[in-house]
Structure 1
Amino acid sequence: MSVFQAFLLGIIQGLTEFLPVSSSGHLEIGHHLLGIKGHNNLVFAIVVHGATVLSTLVVFREDILSLCKGLFAFQWNDETKYISLLFLSAVPIAALGLFFREEVESLFTGNLVFVGIMLIFTASLLAFSYFAKSKDKKIGWLDSLIIGVAQALAVLPGISRAGSTIAVGLLLGKKKEDMARFSFLMVLIPILGANCIDLFAHEANPGEPLGILPLAVGFVAAFVSGLLACKWMIRVVKQGKLIYFAAYCFVIGLIAIFAG
């Protein structure tokens, strides 16, 4: 992987991790366009995902600090309940990763037709959520589990994690601001967990090494673009403009299908 390829893929990862357009789908398309095949990019994936985690921590630093203070009060309060809801939302994707990891990984084969179909599914989900009416309901236990299932489905290349979780939350009648916050915080647990698993897997099977420069460039590109995308996406959700991303996903999905 060249430095320029790492730069482009880092930007793609940073932007699409937070925008409702599927980071996995766009990375598959990016690998196809850049002709990156047969390389061991596991370490690169861990690095750029770590960069997007860091950008999330920066954007939501005040929320995270408040949650930590409530947690270390060692009593059942709003913060402890919220953290519990975040962990509950991670159960579906954790189960998927533990028991069906190989099946999921087998889907990442550069099949653009499959990616295109899933992007159109994402577009449909975003379009439906655009017409959902907010009932100003707080996120409850069942809501957290349902939103967690949506996050688990987003492991499929072409289904947006941010898009599916926010859209499902809006369809459940949750407030836009609450869903933006919950969606971006809930991703921290599975990403950190998956990265730890991948890191141990890499130690057992290191494969082809990558240079420090591509890793550094990819990290910086993913962090900066992720920081900008996260802040922008919060405003987009609050303003109810997800329909524009629905149109984008539909068009890109059609292109991917015909290109495949």
Structure 2
Amino acid sequence: MDSIQALILGLVQGLTEYLPVSSSGHLEIGKVILGEGAEAGGLTFDIIVHVATVLSTLVILNKEIAWLFKGIFKPLAPADGNLSLYRRLNDEQRYTLNILISMIPVGVVGLCFKDKIEALYADNILPVVGCCLLVTAALLAMTHFYKAQEKETISPLHAFIIGIAQAVAVLPGLSRSGSTIGTGLLLGNNRQSLAQFSFLMVIPPILGEALLDFKHIVSPSAEYLAEHGIEQPIETMPLIVGFIAAFISGCIACKWMIALVKRCKLIYFAIYCAIAGSVALYFSL
């Protein structure tokens, strides 16, 4: 992979991580379009650009994150009467608890089934991307035509269901933001709070995955290179270029997506995903 390919793929990752069009699916499509050289680096490059978009989330939502950290260390409300433990929590502690609850499904899938799932489509990924993009399109279209009464706060049950949607979105072509925001809207959650929750809930899983794979990034073994079909480790400069491109474009896309969710504009992404999925299936024939 050269720096130009890394720049293009970094921009693709940053822009599509937050837009409901599947960043993983577009990365795979981008690698096919850019040719064989773009495949070099594989998982290492993917992790680097994913971490870059997580950092863009920290920058754009820094006030919300600071609000959470300030609140989680406050003492619980007094145990008056039959007040449950959950009701004794303040808003920040409840929000943090919901994020932790949403992490359970993706944690189980990531630790127990990730390698098995990836092995199912390792040799022929484009048809999977195409089908999953069509599923994303259908989900986004449903949110346009089905209008549930909006709830101001996300409940622990809804957080868990949204977490299941995130876990299913490990498949390339299933948009993580599209799955979580779409599921949350169908459950009747507030659009603005849902977009913010969707972007915050992905931070721990991505950082956790990056931490687990950090040793492969620093010093990849021969077994790791063979497993991922990489003849040699990716050079440092493409990683830096991809990281910067993903970070800057991620900052732009994060702010844009929050505004789009408020304005109920997801139907346009449903149309786009339907077209992109059809194109991917056509070229996979």
Question: What interval of TM-score do these two structures reach, taking the shorter chain for normalisation?
Answer: over 0.9
Task: Point out where structure 2 has 5 or more consecutive residues left out of the alignment.
Answer: 77-88, 226-231
1:44 maps onto 2:45 in alignment: yes
Q: Which moved more, 1:129-138 or 1:169-178?
A: 129-138
Corresponding residue for residue 7 of structure 1: 7
SS in 1 for 2:21: coil
1:156 maps onto 2:171 in alignment: yes
1:35-184 correspondence to structure 2 within 5 Å: 35-36=35-36, 39-75=40-76, 76-106=89-119, 107-137=121-151, 138-184=153-199
What's the C-alpha RMSD, in Å, of the aligned pairs?
Answer: 1.5
Aligned residue identity for 2:255:
K
Task: Point out where structure 1 has 5 or more consecutive residues left out of the alignment.
Answer: none
1:255 maps onto 2:279 in alignment: yes
Runs of 4+, deviation exceeding 6 Å: none
SS in 1 for 2:189: coil
Tell whether the 8 Å contact from 2:52 to 2:247 is kept in structure 1 after alignment.
Answer: yes
SS in 2 for 1:173: coil
TM-score (norm 2): 0.87
C-alpha separation in 2, matches of 1:183 and 1:108: 28
Corresponding residue for residue 22 of structure 1: 22
Aligned residue identity for 1:73:
K
Tell whether the 8 Å contact from 1:134 to 1:175 is kept in structure 2 after alignment.
Answer: no
Corresponding residue for residue 206 of structure 2: 191
- Tell me the CA shift for residue 110 of structure 1: 4.7
Tell whether the 8 Å contact from 2:106 to 2:163 is kept in structure 1 after alignment.
Answer: yes
Aligned residue identity for 2:252:
L
Tell whether the 8 Å contact from 1:32 to 1:110 is kept in structure 2 after alignment.
Answer: no
1:228-247 correspondence to structure 2 within 5 Å: 228-247=252-271
Could you list the per-position Cα deviations for residues 122-181 of structure 1 after superposition, in whole angstroms to 9, with x for gaps in the alignment? 000000011232423121011001000000011001100000100000000111101111
CA distance 1:200–1:74, shift in 2 (3 Å):
farther
Q: Which moved more, 1:74-83 or 1:17-26?
A: 74-83
SS in 1 for 2:188: coil
CA distance 1:19–1:32, shift in 2 (3 Å):
same
Aligned residue identity for 2:50:
H
C-alpha separation in 2, matches of 1:27 and 1:141: 32
Q: Which moved more, 1:7-16 or 1:129-138?
A: 129-138
C-alpha separation in 2, matches of 1:224 and 1:110: 31
Aligned residue identity for 2:241:
V
- Tell me the CA shift for residue 209 of structure 1: 2.4
Choose 1 or 2 for highest CA Rg.
Answer: 2
Tell whether the 8 Å contact from 2:60 to 2:255 is kept in structure 1 after alignment.
Answer: yes
Aligned residue identity for 1:194:
E
C-alpha separation in 2, matches of 1:8 and 1:36: 15
Could you list the per-position Cα deviations for residues 19-43 of structure 1 after superposition, in whole angstroms to 9, with x for gaps in the alignment? 0000111111011111237634332
